[in-house]
Amino acid sequence: MPESLRKTYKYKLKPTSEQERRLEDILWRCRRLYNTALEQRITLWKQRGVSLCAYTQSAELPDLRATLPDYAAIHSQVLQDVLARLEKTYQAFFRRVKTGQTPGFPRFQGSNRYNSFTYKQFGNGVTLDNGFLVLSKIGRVAVRWSRALAGTPKTVTLSREADGWYVCCSCADVPTQPLEPTGQETGIDVGLESFATLSDGTMIHNPRCYRKAERRLKTAQRRVSRRKKGGNRRRKAVKLLAKAHQTVKRQRQDFQHKTALALVRQFDTIYLEDLQVANMVRNHRLAKSINDAGWASFRTILEAKAAYAGRRVVAVPPVYTSQVCSGCGVIVSKGLSVRWHLCPDCGTSLHRDHNAARNIERAGQALRGEVA
C-alpha cells in the first residue's frame, strides 16, 4: 500500500479579458502546429515512405520559433507537448492496428476538438505565487481555489470549456488517506437497464436528471441545425449547445464520483469485469458497449479513489459471468433479453445482473487466492 500517489486537481481560472485573449491565441497556435505536424507526417509518408517521429519534429521547433515570432512567444515545452500528443495518437493508432482492430487514422483537429495545452514541467514556464498561477508570457492569472492542492505539482494543463478556462495540476507525492477496513467485499456488474448491480443485489440506477439534460441537449442540437450557417444566431445556438453538453458531462461525472466514493467507503475490495477484454472475447456483450464509455470513466474514478483510500479494485476476466449459475456453477445460457436467472438444477432465482455480480465476486476472490 503506497503512502503517496499521483493526483490531479482542477480549478476554474479567472483570467482578465486580455489574458483570456492570450490563452485563446496560444490554443489556436498549438492547434495549427498539431495539424501542420500531422500534415507533414502524412506528406512525407506518401512521397517518400518516411515515417517521422516526435523527436525529429521537435528538432525543428527552434527554427520555427526563430522564423515565426508568434511561436517564439509560446513556451517551448508547450510546443513540444503538442508534438508529443501527436506522437501518442500515432502510437495508439498503430497499437490498435497491431491487435487487429480498425481504428480511425489520426485526424486533423477542428477548433471545437482541440481544447487544451500543457506545460510539461512545473517551475518551467509555469509556477504558483501567492495564490496566482504565473504563466510565462501571459502573466499572473487568478484561480478559484475550490479545494486545497496537495503534493508536488508536476505538469500543468490549461483547458477551455464551455464556461471558461480551467487549470489541471497533476501532483506527485500526494499523501494517501487510508480508510478503516470494513471487512466487506463486493462484485459489481455493469447493467443494461441499471448503471450497475452489486453482489448483494443492490442496483445502482442512473439518475433521473440524465433524461432531462439529454432532452435539453436534443433541443439545443435541433436549434443549431435549424439556423443558417455563418449567422450570428447560429453562433449563439452553438454556444448553448456546448453548455448543454457540459451540463450532461458534469452530471455524469458528479454521479460517478459520488457512486465511487460510496463504494470505496463501504468495501475493502471491489471486483469488476475487465471489459476491454470482454469486447474482444465476446460479441454478444456488444450491446453493453452503449454503457461502456461511461463504465470506463467510472472505473478510472473508482480506481483512483480506491488507491487514495487504501482500498483494492480487482479486474476479473469476464468469462461466462452472466451465464454461470452463482448458486451451483452450472451453465444456464440465456440471451440478452432474458433478464432473470433461474437455475433448473439448484433453483437459484435472481436478476441476471445480480447473478453476474456474484460470479464476478467469486472469480475475483479465486484470482486473489491464486496470487496470494
Q: Which amino acid is at 158?
A: L
- Contact present, 251 and 234 (Cβ < 8 Å): no
| Residue 273 appears among annotated catalytic residues | yes
Counting residues that bind Zn ion (by CB under 5 A) gives: 7
Candidates 156, 343, 357, 363: give the one binding Zn ion (CB under 5 A).
343
- Contact present, 81 and 118 (Cβ < 8 Å): yes
| Residue 189 appears among annotated catalytic residues | yes
Of 34-42, 128-136, 339-347, 354-362: span binding Zn ion (CB under 5 A) = 339-347
Which triple of cell numbers denotes residue 159? 483547458
Candidates 50, 290, 328, 366: give the one binding Zn ion (CB under 5 A).
328
Residue owning grid cell 483570467: 15
Q: Shortest Cβ distance from residue 92 to Zn ion (Å)? A: 43
DSSP for 96-120?
A: HHHTT--PPPP-PPPTTT--EEEES
Candidates 325, 350, 356, 357: give the one binding Zn ion (CB under 5 A).
325
Does residue 327 interact with Zn ion by CB under 5 A? yes
Does residue 287 interact with Zn ion by CB under 5 A? no
Does residue 345 interact with Zn ion by CB under 5 A? yes
3-state secondary structure of 150: coil
Which residues in the 55-74 window bind Zn ion by CB under 5 A? none
Pairing of strands 4-14, 164-175: antiparallel
Instruction: Report how far residue 151's alpha carbon sits from residue 148's, in angstroms, rounded to the nearest whole number.
Output: 10
Of 146-154, 177-185, 201-209, 325-333: span binding Zn ion (CB under 5 A) = 325-333
Catalytic residue, from 81, 87, 268, 273: name it.
273
When the beta carbons of 181 and 329 are compared against Zn ion, the nearer one is: 329
Q: Which amino acid is at 125?
A: G
Contact map string, positions 245 to 284, toward Zn ion, x by CB under 5 A: ----------------------------------------
When the beta carbons of 256 and 321 are compared against Zn ion, the nearer one is: 321
Closest to 359 (Cα-Cα) out of 343, 344, 371, 372: 343
For 267-336, where are the alpha helices, taking DSSP H only? 275-281, 289-309
Q: Shortest Cβ distance from residue 353 to Zn ion (Å)? A: 16
Instruction: Report how far residue 205's alpha carbon sits from residue 232's, in angstroms, rounded to the nearest whole number.
Output: 40
Binding site for Zn ion (CB under 5 A): 325, 327-328, 343, 345-346, 348
Q: Which residues are catalytic?
A: 189, 273, 353
